[in-house]
Each structure stands twice: as C-alpha cells, then as structure tokens.
Structure 1
Amino acid sequence: MTPSISGHTALAGVLGNPVHHSLSPAMHNAALEELGLDWVYLALPAAADQLEAVLRGLEAVDCRGLNVTLPHKQAVAGLCRTLSPLAERLGAVNTLVRHPQGGWRGDNTDVAGFLAPLRAGGRDWQGKRAVVLGCGGSARAVVAALVELGCGSIELAGRNAAKQEALLASCRCWAPQLEALTWQPQTTQPCQSTGLESALAEASLVVNTTPVGMASASDPGAASRCPLSPVELEALPPQSCVYDLIYTPRPTALLAAAAARGCEALDGLEMLVQQGAAALRQWSGIDAVPVAAMRAAALAQLSPPGTGP
C-alpha cells in the first residue's frame, strides 16, 4: 500500500539529465515505506546550466537528501560546501547530504556500492591482478575501490589515449599500482595477440565500465554487443570474476560469455542497490535500511509483469 503524501511529507530525490529511466525512485520509496518515514523520493531532471539554482531551491524547501547521476557527478562537486575525503579525491559526487551550516556536503557511495558484492563473495582480493575496461567517470570510482580492496596490480584499458592518460595522471598519487594497457579496436584476425589479451589471461578480476552492451531503445543491436573480442574472451581464466557495471540486459553479452567460460559473473544492479542504501543511511541516520526491499523493487522495475525475475 502506497503511503499518502501530505503537507508533512519530506522530499528526497535523484538529480540527472535525463533521469526518467532511473530505478532509484522505486528502490528508495520501497525502503521509505518499510521504514515508516513520511518521505517521498522523486526523479528530478536538472539542466547543467540550472544545477546551482536547483540545489539552492531544494535546500530552501528542506529536501532531506539527494543522489546525483549523469551528467552532474563532477559539476556538483564544485557546488558543495564540503566534500568527504573520498569525494574530494575522486572529484565526483553521487550523494548530497544537508550541511548543518547550510548548503550541501558531497560524498561518493559508488565505491561502497561497487565493493559490496565482491566482499560478500568471500574471496581474498589482496595482491590480485585486476583489469578495468574504459576510462570514463565510473572507472575512477572502480580504481579507488580496487585500491581499497588491496589489488596488487590494476591495469586500465582505454581506447581514448588522452582520457586514459588524464585518468592515470590524476590517480597515480593514490593508486601507484595503476598501469595503462593499449586497447585496440576489435580485430578480425582471431590469432592476433594483444597486450589486453595477455593481461586478461593473468587477471583475477575484470571490470567493464564502458557502455558497450547496454540496452538502448534507439539502437536495437546495442544489447548484443560485447566490449571484448572473441579472442579476448577466450583469454579469460575460468576461475576469474567478470564484473559488468551494466545491468540492462541481464545478463549482458559480456557476462553471458564469461559465465559460459566458467567465470563468476556480476552485474551492476547490486552496486546500484548498495550505493543507494549507503546514501539512505546518511540521510536518515538509520543504519538498518531495508536493502532487500530496495533490491526487490529494482528487480520489479527491470522485469515487466509476467516476465519473471
């Protein structure tokens, strides 16, 4: 039963552009109902040139907390009164908490969200080798998480040399184990060996941070694509873990191929749930937030009625 909204109902939400597709409202409203909090969580579209005005307005109406998604994670960091040490290091914010002296405190719960399923699996990642595909904003949070996990070697494979070098330069002071890999376009010569192929063959953990393989209404073939070529997929050790930040479709082409090789396959849905739960703990001051209800609500949004889980 959906709780009624009254003049006493408090507001929380997610800022992005576009943001209509977000699963966060379903997740958070399920949690708020179970906690008995008279709050409502909304998707709040915000244009880049209006972001500062939107934040001031939401503070003025006593908004209890905000998530931030693309494309505002970096821009919003410059609009915060203070930043957590992690958000300052990453230069990216995905969670805003009201500052007691006015304005917002910026934090980043993407790292905690990413780590949750890896830690839940019980494997020891200390000293292990990891390969990260892509060099966008998500890759920075993943690298920070892998450092926290204790990985001894982190290799970054990017096709944009300038972006790759910029990311390496900004992370070297706190990720000394981070190195660059050359990632060539997919080859039509299956016998050709590449630096990435060799790295994959020695990896314990492979993380895809690129959008390749994400379902798209405007591109029917997008979901069938894989960021790795057939020869690169063949290099994956069966005992490795492959983690794709994408969760639509489930499984992605990458994870289906990895599972067929006997790899452990993780998608990004649990990361989404856990980063949201971490944010809700900060806004509400309640540690025991209903993660199971958040996960079930997200899955229900991904699975239309009658299609099963």
Structure 2
Amino acid sequence: MTTHAPSTPNPSLRKFAVIGNPVAHSRSPFIHQAFAAQTGMSLVYDRLCAPLDNFAGTVKHFFADGGVGLNVTVPFKEQAWQTAQDGLSERARVAGAVNTLWMQDGQLKGCNTDGIGLLNDLERQGQNLAGKRILLVGAGGAAKGVVLPLLETGCARLHVVNRTVEKATALQTAMTDAAPRYTASLSAGGLDSAEGHWDIIINATSSSIDDKAPALKGAHFAPNALGYDMFYATRPTAFMRWAKDAGAAQVCDGLGMLVGQAAVSFQIWNGVLPDVAPVLAALRAQLHAAQ
C-alpha cells in the first residue's frame, strides 16, 4: 500500500488522538509520544471519547479542527469503515473495519493495521503459524482486521466463534467472498462450536475489559499451544488466566500488537516506521510499575 504523510502548515502543532468509548485506559498517547521522541518529531496526541451515537460527528469535528490522524478502538472500528468508505485502503476494504484514519487531499482515508501488528507480535513470541489450527474468538472490528492476515500465514484452519452466531458466519462469508482461495481453511460458528484442540486461541472480544473470559466449552489447547488476548492490563487478563488453567503452554496479552499496529499508523501519518522494541519494553515496564 502506498501512503503519503498528510501535509500541515505547522508540524509542531500537529494533533492526533485515539478515539473510542471507553478510552481512558488507552496507552496510545504514551506510544505515539515515544515514537515521536524516537524519530525527532513534534506532535500532540490525546484520548478522544466519542458518544456511542455520534462517532461520525466527532471524527468530522476533529479533522475540521485541524486534527491530522486518529487511531480507532472499541467499539468504533466498523463505524470507521463506514465513515471512510470512499477512501479505504485495500487492507481495510477486505477487513470491513478501520483502526487508522487521516485526511489526504481533503478526503478521509482509512486503513487497518491490526493484522500486521498481531502477526509481528506473534513472530516475537516465536510462533510460526504455518500449518497451525487457530481459534479466533470474536467477530467484531478487532477480529475483522486480523482474519485475512492470519489466513495468509498458511495456517491449516482458522475457526471464528462469536456469541452471536450470525456475526461469525457473516464474517466468514464476507472474507471468503473477498478471498475465495481460503474457503476451505476458514470456518465459523457460535461459542459452542469452539470444541477441539487448538494450537493458538486468540481472544478478540472486549471481555477482558470486564475481567471476564469468553465461555469456550470444549476448547482445548494442543501441546505447546498459545493463548493470546488482544486486550492488555497491568496483570494477567481473565482470558490469560483461563488459558493457563486450560493447559496453554504460553499466554500473552496484546501489548505487543498494540505497539506494532501503532507503529504502522505512525508510518502512514509521518512517513517513517519507528522501532517497536524500545517502546514496547518501556510500556511493559510502565505497566509493571503500576501493579
């Protein structure tokens, strides 16, 4: 994907934010300020809590007020896709969800960097996904952004489960329509269809915000399996604790994914890809200090 850094008359006053609801817990300001320091750039990065019924209006006001870029988090990634419909990257178009917004030549643009962030973090965890059996829990915006990148790794099977079966099967249909070559390896169903032995189970739901784990009856971890929660916290999440008790050899949260996807967003906005490792280490230390 070819991207261009947005132009602005005064780089020292460039404004960015993460938009969501809730958003007070977000570490995105720390991450992007660290990226800016690393690359010698000046920026302002805030948290923006949008009303659940006025996401599009909040986005419009942000950019009209001189904003340059927005990261999009729960629960607005699908709404962001609709809002940026005329300016979607190929990655975002296929995903049906957007986590990065910016203005370019007067047009709102949208991309999805979640998949790259997840795959890079799984690689850091020593995971080779080729031939693996993967269970993806959730079918919302967070899940949509990672389905195609996961399939592209050559995994043997990707099964998407969701509390609302229709959302999972709709995601499956949309993805196989967009990439029919993966029809045989992608399946979907309700939480009660999670039964089996999985090499990787990924929680893409927001359940950990409420310190709860999805009810995955019959789901088991294969030997040397990984339980991965896209959410992160100062202590192991409810999903990580469940995964450990259920036999996962390795568990981790989504902090590395968060920093990884943020780095690609930063590159889209600023034309330079920052180094993830020192920022991830600093953020992890900050979270440990807050325990």
- Using structure 1 for the length normalisation, give the TM-score: 0.78
Structure possessing the higher radius of gyration over alpha carbons = 1
Distance in 2 separating the partners of 1:66 and 1:136: 19
Distance in 2 separating the partners of 1:205 and 1:171: 20
Determine the structure 2 residue equivalent to 1:211: 206
Q: Is the CA contact (8 Å cut-off) linking 1:31 and 1:293 kept in structure 2? A: no
For structure 1, which runs of at least 5 residues remain unmatched after alignment?
Answer: 1-5, 185-194, 217-222
Q: Is the CA contact (8 Å cut-off) linking 1:98 and 1:105 kept in structure 2? A: yes
Determine the structure 2 residue equivalent to 1:14: 18
Given residue 267 of structure 1, which amino acid in structure 2 is its aligned partner? Answer: D
| More divergent stretch after superposition (122-131 vs 22-31) | 122-131
Instruction: Give CA deviations for 1:140-170 in whole Å, capped at 9, x if unaligned.
Output: 2232221121112111223322222222222
Determine the structure 1 residue equivalent to 2:59: 55
Query: What is the percentage of aligned positions where both structures have the same residue?
Result: 33
For structure 2, which runs of at least 5 residues remain unmatched after alignment?
Answer: 1-9
1:119 to 114, 118, 123: 123
Determine the structure 2 residue equivalent to 1:67: 71
Given residue 88 of structure 2, which amino acid in structure 1 is its aligned partner? Answer: L
SS class of match (1:59): helix
Q: Is the CA contact (8 Å cut-off) linking 1:56 and 1:103 kept in structure 2? A: no
Determine the structure 2 residue equivalent to 1:91: 96
Matched, 1:276 2:271: no
Given residue 285 of structure 1, which amino acid in structure 2 is its aligned partner? Answer: G
Instruction: Give CA deviations for 1:245-289 in whole Å, capped at 9, x if unaligned.
Output: 1222532244345446351222111111111111011111112x1
Q: Is the CA contact (8 Å cut-off) linking 1:26 and 1:301 kept in structure 2? A: no
Residue 92 (structure 1) shift: 1.0
Change in CA separation of 1:29 and 1:210 when aligned onto 2, cut-off 3 Å: same
Determine the structure 2 residue equivalent to 1:196: 194
| More divergent stretch after superposition (263-272 vs 43-52) | 43-52
Matched, 1:285 2:271: yes
Quick check: which one's strand share is greater? Answer: 2
Instruction: Give CA deviations for 1:27-82 in whole Å, capped at 9, x if unaligned.
Output: 11122123221211111222255444433343344423211112221222222241
Distance in 2 separating the partners of 1:273 and 1:303: 16
Given residue 294 of structure 1, which amino acid in structure 2 is its aligned partner? Answer: V
**Matched length:** 276
SS class of match (1:13): strand
Change in CA separation of 1:14 and 1:182 when aligned onto 2, cut-off 3 Å: closer
1:171 to 150, 175, 179: 175
Given residue 18 of structure 1, which amino acid in structure 2 is its aligned partner? Answer: P
Residue 300 (structure 1) shift: 4.8
SS class of match (2:201): strand
Q: Is the CA contact (8 Å cut-off) linking 2:160 and 2:188 kept in structure 1? A: yes
Residue 115 (structure 1) shift: 0.8
Distance in 2 separating the partners of 1:297 and 1:210: 26
Distance in 1 separating the partners of 2:173 and 2:74: 23
Distance in 2 separating the partners of 1:50 and 1:238: 46
Determine the structure 1 residue equivalent to 2:224: 239
Distance in 1 separating the partners of 2:239 and 2:18: 29
Aligned-CA RMSD value: 2.7
Residue 297 (structure 1) shift: 4.6
Instruction: Give CA deviations for 1:1-43 in whole Å, capped at 9, x if unaligned.
Output: xxxxx99422111122232221111111122123221211111
2:40 to 31, 36, 41: 36
